[in-house]
Structure 1
Amino acid sequence: MIVKYISKPNSIILAVTPANTDLANSDGLRLARDVDPEGTRTIGVLTKIDLMDPGTDVVDILAGRVVPLTLGYVPVVNRGQRDIDTKKAIARSLEEERRFFENHVAYMSKAQYCGTPYLARRLSMILMRRINHTLPEIKAKIQAALVKYQTELASLGDMLGDGSGQASIVLNIITEFCSEFRTIIDGNSTDLTSFELSGGARISFVFHELFSNGVKSLDPFDQVKDVDIRTILYNSSGSSPALFVGTTAFEVIIKQQIKRLEDPSLRCVNIVFDELVRILTQLLSKQLFKRFPQLKDRFYQVVINFLRKQLSPTNKLVQDLISMESVYINTGHPDFLNGHKAMAVINDRVNQAKNPQPVDPKNRNVANLPPSLEPEPNNNGFFGSFFSGKKKRSGAMEPPPAVLKASGNLSEREQIETEVIKLLISSYFNIVKRTVIDTVPKAIMLNLVNTAKEELQRELLQELYKTEVLDELLKESEFTQNRRKECRKMIEALQRADEIVGSIAG
């Protein structure tokens, strides 16, 4: 416990040691030396001077020749147990102490520097010097604490009255909230941070990173395999095998893939909704709303309900955008690789793979068909490679099975047709993905974000700016009321301390 107090840098240490013991073994001096090695705030007090053996004194100690201290030593003669038991008056004890030092041969020449009264005067002088030394620091700390509590008291506000004052407070809170809400989304806030993205920057990240990359990562062929394309090609031809690559198969597949864009688009809406809720939570964490918990709860409910109401039209608009792309396949789009170009690309690939030898034009047939479309040497029929089965005996004919599924390897023609369809699907799907990446964020901004910026204040005024609910909304929390009282008490105490320090300095 002693160490706890003497360790404080502004404390003055009285190292009390009986004069009739070895000073080098003094526990008081040892503790003082541990916390005050320079000895700048330690004064030695020598007691029991009157109990020393005849012929001995503490002159060497007082002269600093034994254990020197910067502030030196003061010898005193205290009351003994007998004096306490007999209730000897303090004034009489002090008088006897004075006569002891004045009449002692070793101390009479320095009696004015001995005794309890001198120790008290010496301590007062040391205290005043330390106060003057630390006065500027103390004054600065008082001023800083005063400003701190005054600022907090101002943030807590004054006690509220009734009537128009309450309406004005609610109106100002709604106006300030909506202004900060718009500012955070637009990126004009004065509280911009360099540590993390916030507000509108997070929404932009959702659009240009999460949503964009999510849509771009969709691969139409992770679900549609070559065997599926072959089946759709034959199904779309009906009873008459197509002479050319069927556009119906292309449209069936591309519409299926476009529908896949709806899920990430709707998820993007929900993520942006969460980001708006995040901004709401950020604004409601301010001191003003801690003061009025009922108002905070009502703010949260009104804003959340408003944003949820906007979710339905936003989702509908996003779904309509995807439906627009799926109901009309614009094969005339300038960026679309049409069928002729696709066929040419695939034929070039096939020819390069075959690495054909130069052919004499005279040996080509009259039709001059490209090699990829010439009749195949083995006459297995149009469905020859569509499904595989056991070889039948000559002339045998049986009805087809209840379920026909594609199996076996693709023929050259089927391979070419499949590759053409895949090329067309990739070309058009990339066009649609670019369009969706561009239009879905615009739809979300229009129906959700921008509507919240423009209509939220009207909604809050309509729901909260009502005379009948003002008393309930502006009911202060118990914490605010108690904290206001504490701040006022601290301000009064600090102002008195500042006056005292000022008077000492003056």
Structure 2
Amino acid sequence: MDETLISIINKLQDTLAPLGGGSQSPIDLPQITVVGSQSSGKSSVLENVVGRDFLPRGTGIVTRRPLVLQLINKRSTNSEKSSQQKQDLLDLNTSENQNDGSVSNQKEDNVDEWGEFLHLPGKKFYNFNEIREEIEAETERTTGNNAGLSPVPINLRIYSPHVLTLTLVDLPGLTKVPVGDQPPDIEKQIKSMILTYISKPNAIILSVNPANADLANSDGLKLAKEVDPEGKRTIGVLTKVDLMDRGTDVVDILAGRVIPLRYGYVPVINRGQKDIELKKTIREALKDEAHFFEDHEAYRSKAAYCGTPYLAKKLNNILLHHIKQKLPEIKEKIEKALKKFKNELVSLGPEMIDSPNSIVLNMITDFTKEYIGILDGEAKDLSSQELSGGARISYVFHEIYKSGVYSLNPFDKIKDSDIRTIMYNSSGYAPSLFVGTEAFEVLVKQQIERFHSPSEKLVLLVVDELIRILKQITSQNRFARFPQLRDALINCFIDFIKENTTPTNALVNDIIDGEETYINTAHPDLLRGSDAMVIVQEKLRAKTTVDPKSGKSLIGGSKSSNQPISNEAEKSSNSFFGGFFSSKSKKSTEFLESPPKILKATGEMTDRETTETEVIKLLIDSYYNIVKKNVADSIPKAIMLKLIIKSKNDIQKVLLEKLYDSPKLDDLVNENEITIERRKECKKMIEVLNNAHTIVESV
């Protein structure tokens, strides 16, 4: 079962390979990514794990594409050897080698070991030198021979009785200084490529670090720390342990006392350049490695936890455990990604097979249906995060406009002196005995005029919301498919809305003009004049005070209207024009003068003026509240009738008239190049994800 799980991941890697590695893949697979500087011995570690020389060597950047190395344990065809290998899969000192006497003379053509490339399906490479050559050739086919990089991985599967089933991703070695024809930003390019792989949460980071250098300065470990600062998914490999200064060792590092990692560190011994030149085989090197740790004073007690065989077993166990944890998550991600790309493909529409007329008709029909649905709250994808469509218009009607209308205060524009002046003017040359209806109507009409501005503003706000719905719909991929047709549809819609804004404003203003034209003093909700008089008198009576010197009643600084008037002067001061002409009446008639050109109501208001002013204010407030209710109810209805409902009923007909029979119809349905390319990408993704889904469902 364990090997089957790794095999599943291998198949997924092969399936997702055409999409490119790193961030290009929509699925984050559990895999071990190998990072380290060019001089860290990274390639040697991988060859030791495989037990074969197969990686390209040379100066500068040798690994220029990620190498997905899938190791498959294949039992030997020889039953005797198979029994021996069952004891230890990495026991490379087989009976064949012992009898031969010289491991270096081992034949390259071995029926039990071979490699296969994903880009060469069905072809087996038994000669590992040919594997190296094919890696170099495939790298140049993609990157050219100018030391360029490519994120597209090379998938190599190696079958051998001497390996544990394991998957490793070998990434380019970190370098700081460009060499030869390397690009000047080579360090940035390599770092960016590595980060796309190791930054994924499901990646286990295998950091290869030379033991004979300060661990704190290790390039591989520094990069791992950027994405895994706590070291929870990083395992360290210490190379060149045999090259450390005499008297020094890595015991403190292994004990986690230097830079602790969750999976710890494994020390290994690689072949040096001299060993390679002398044709020392990896199998001989592994023997020497075992002897080194067994004989070394600092490591002999922990030799079982050192060396390449232990590293391979540890990586195998880590990968298996990681896959078991992440497989359910992988299944879910594949299903979500598949659904996402299928939906996107549908939104992009099928390839051009319909006639131009059919395309235009379908787009107009789709737009109209969605437009009406959004207004009515019947859209497919209703947001749970914010209001949209018809709900926003309702908010504009009830929260913005209604609140604005009800906040209007008629008395922030009318002063008591203004009311007194209008009462004088409305009574003409004969002073009125009672509160005049004319003054009340003049004042109310002036305040009703104030509803025009917010109501016209409401029309503009609703137009903005309709345009917002238009943009919401046409921003979808299926409308972006034909950009010229989409733009023409947008222009037609905006023109239609603008044309209907004028009659909408006219009706809105007519409603307010109607309120202003006829003041319905018989309205059942209007406060009656007699009731208003009682309220005012009670209010004034409550404010009555007594002069402490004279003992007479005072009302807001003037005499009470209930007090008897003892002489003509008092009668004059309390008459309708008493306050207005009080100063003039005291002058002798023989000195009468013409009134000033501009005559204003000045002086302190009399009791009667105060009473009449307060009565009119109560009546204005009562009637203004009635008008507020009428306007807050009628204006949104008018906008619904003339703009919103009309657009729902007529927009499809208007769009058909202007677009369906357009002489530029063929130009309108030219498909966007971006849409064509995106459709191809979606189809490719769906094909790959369908294959991946089939693979994970087999578990």
Do they fold alike, i.e. is TM over 0.5?
yes
Partners of 2:36 and 2:220 within 8 A in 1: no
* Greater mean alpha carbon deviation, residues 251-260 or residues 480-489: 480-489
5 Å-filtered alignment, 1:137-148, equals 140=331, 148=340
Q: 1:425 to 1:48 in 2, by over 3 A?
A: closer
Q: Is the 8 A contact 2:444 2:624 kept in 1?
A: yes
CA distance in 2, matches of 1:14, 1:129: 19
CA offset at residue 494 of structure 1?
6.3
CA contact 1:15–1:42 (8 Å) conserved in 2: yes
Q: In structure 2, what is the equivalent of residue 273 of structure 1?
A: 463
Name the CA shift for 1:248/1:373 in 2 (closer, same or farther; >3 Å): farther
Matching residue of 2:437:
247
Q: Kindly indicate whether residue 350 of structure 2 is the aligned counterpart of residue 158 of structure 1.
A: yes
Q: In 2, Cα distance between the equivalents of 1:389 and 1:286? A: 78
Q: CA deviation at 1:159?
A: 2.8
**Aligned pair 1:409/2:409, yes or no?**
no
In 1, the alpha carbon distance for the partners of 2:597 and 2:267 equals: 117
The one-letter code matched in structure 2 to 1:199 is G
Change in 2 beyond 3 A, CA 1:170/1:130 = farther
SS at match of 2:570: coil
CA deviation after TM superposition for structure 1 residue 223, in Å? 1.6
Letter of the 1:454 partner, please give it.
N
Instruction: Pick the aligned partner of 2:534 from 330, 339, 344.
Output: 344
Contact 1:262 1:322 in 2 (8 A): yes
CA separation in 1, counterparts of 2:541 and 2:505? 48
Q: Which moved more, 1:297-306 or 1:140-149?
A: 140-149
Deviation at 1:354, TM superposition (A): 3.9
Equivalent residues of 1:227, 1:406 under 8 A apart:
yes
State the partner residue of 1:425: 620
When residues 234 and 480 of structure 1 are mapped into structure 2, their CA distance, relative to the original with a 3 A threshold, is same
- Alignment partners' CA distance in 2, 1:145 and 1:67: 41
**1:338 Cα offset (Å):** 2.7
User: Take 1:462 and 1:39, find their aligned partners in 2: how far apart are those partners?
Assistant: 64
SS for the counterpart of 1:395 is: helix
Equivalent in the alignment of 2:645: 450
Question: Structure 1's 237 and 478: CA in aligned 2 closer, same or farther, altered over 3 A?
Answer: same
Higher strand share: 2
Asked if 1:476 is matched to 2:671, the reply is yes
Q: Does the 8 Å contact 1:39/1:70 carry over to 2?
A: no
TM-score, normalised relative to structure 1: 0.72
Letter in 2 for 1:233: M
The corresponding residue for 1:213 is 403
1:115 aligns to what? Answer: none
Distance in 1 (CA, whole Å) between partners of 2:454 and 2:373 is 28
CA distance in 1, matches of 2:564, 2:390: 57
Structure 2 contact 347–478 (Cα < 8 Å) conserved = yes
Secondary structure of 2:666's counterpart equals helix
Deviation at 1:158, TM superposition (A): 3.3
Deviations 1:446-466 (A, max 9, x none): 111111122212222222222
Greater shift, 387-396 or 243-252, is seen at 387-396
Consecutive unaligned residues of structure 1, counting only runs of 5 or more, are 54-60, 108-118, 357-369
Rounded to whole Å, the distance in 2 between the matches of 1:414 and 1:162 is 82
1:2-13 pair list within 5 angstroms: 2=36, 8=198, 9-10=203-204
| Aligned positions of 1:253-264 closer than 5 A | 253-264=443-454
Deviation at 1:80, TM superposition (A): 2.7
Aligned partner of 1:295 in structure 2 is: 485
Tell which deviates more after alignment, 298-307 or 375-384.
375-384
Shift in alpha-carbon separation, 1:455–1:26, aligned structure 2, 3 A = closer
SS of 1:341 mapped into structure 2: helix
The verdict on how the C-alpha distance between 1:410 and 1:498 changes in structure 2, with shifts beyond 3 A counting, is closer
Distance (whole Å) between structure 1 residues aligned to residue 599 and residue 210 of structure 2: 109
1:79–1:171 CA distance, 2 compared to 1 (3 A): same
Gaps of 5+ in 2: 1-34, 38-190, 256-262, 295-306, 547-560
Corresponding letter in the other structure for 1:217: S
Aligned partner (choices 510, 525, 540) of residue 335 of structure 1: 525
User: Residue 407 of structure 2 aligns to which amino acid in structure 1?
Assistant: S
Q: What is the root-mean-square deviation of aligned Cα atoms in Å? A: 4.9
**Residue number in structure 2 paired with 1:359:** none
- C-alpha distance in 2, partners of 1:336/1:79? 106
Q: Specify which of 175, 187, 192 is matched with residue 382 of structure 2.
A: 192
Give the equivalent residue in structure 2 for 1:385: 579
Identify the match of residue 635 of structure 2 among 420, 434, 440: 440
Residue in structure 2 matched with residue 58 of structure 1 by the alignment: none
Q: Point out the more displaced range, 143-152 or 196-205.
A: 143-152
Identify the residue that residue 505 of structure 2 maps to in structure 1.
315
**Contact in 2 for aligned 1:174/1:457 (Cα 8 Å):** yes
Residue by residue, what CA displacement relative to the aligned partner does 1:233-268 show, whole Å, maximum 9, x if unpaired? 122222222222221111111111112222222222
Q: Which amino acid aligns with 1:384?
A: G
Structure 1 residue 408: Cα displacement: 0.5
Q: Any residues of structure 2 matched to 1:109-188 within 5 Å, and which?
A: 140=331, 148-161=340-353, 163=355, 166-188=356-378
1:409: Cα distance to partner?
0.8
Distance apart, 1:38 and its partner CA: 9.9
Shift of 1:470: 3.2
Encode CA deviations 1:411-437: one digit per residue, 9 max, x unaligned.
Answer: 222222222222222222221111111
Q: Give the 3 Å change call, closer, same or farther, for CA 192–25 of structure 1 in structure 2.
A: closer
- For 2:430 and 2:214, how far apart are their aligned partners in 1? 120
AA aligned to 2:413 is Q
Amino acid in structure 2 at the alignment position of 1:473: L
8 Å contact kept, 1:387–1:405: no
Is residue 223 from structure 1 mapped to residue 418 from structure 2 by the alignment? no
Distance 1:349 1:470, change over 3 A: same
Contact 1:39 1:71 in 2 (8 A): no
CA contact (8 A) 2:268 2:308 kept: no
Structure 1 Cα separation of the partners of residues 665 and 569 of structure 2: 87
Match of 1:80 among 274, 278, 288: 274
Higher mean Cα deviation, 39-48 or 392-401? Answer: 39-48
Query: What is aligned with 2:591?
Result: 396
Letter in 1 for 2:359: I
Change (3 A) 1:317 1:77: closer
Name which structure has the greater RCO, CA cutoff 8 Å, separation 6+.
1
Q: Which has the larger radius of gyration?
A: 1
Could you tell me how far 1:132 is from its partner in structure 2?
A: 6.7
Offset, 1:125: 8.7
User: Does the CA contact (< 8 Å) of 1:184 and 1:200 recur in 2?
Assistant: yes
Q: Could you tell me how far 1:131 is from its partner in structure 2?
A: 7.3
Matched-pair contact (CA < 8 Å) for 1:265–1:318? yes
- In the aligned structure 2, how far is the partner of 1:349 from the partner of 1:11? 85
Q: Is the 8 A contact 1:76 1:97 kept in 2?
A: no
Cα distance, 1:129–1:485 mapped onto 2, change above 3 Å = farther
Cα distance change on mapping 1:343 and 1:126 into 2, 3 Å: closer
Q: Which letter maps to 2:372? A: R
Say how many residue pairs are matched. 458
Q: Secondary structure at the match of 1:385?
A: helix
2:620 and 2:637 mapped to 1: Cα distance? 26
> What residue is the counterpart of 2:160 in the other structure?
none
1:477-496 superposed matches below 5 A: 477-488=672-683
Q: Cα distance 1:168–1:486, how it changes in 2: closer, same or farther (>3 A)?
A: same
SS at match of 2:579: coil
CA distance in 2, matches of 1:344, 1:276: 51
Give, in whole Å, the separation in 2 of the partners of 1:492 and 1:221: 72
Which structure shows the bigger proportion of residues in helix conformation? 1
- Give 1:363's aligned residue: none
8 Å Cα contact 1:16-1:47 kept in structure 2: yes
1:350–1:372: 8 Å Cα contact kept in structure 2? Answer: no
Q: Distance in 1 between matches of 2:513 and 2:283?
A: 111
**Distance (Å, rounded) in 1 between the aligned partners of 2:519 and 2:436:** 14
Shift of 1:493: 6.3
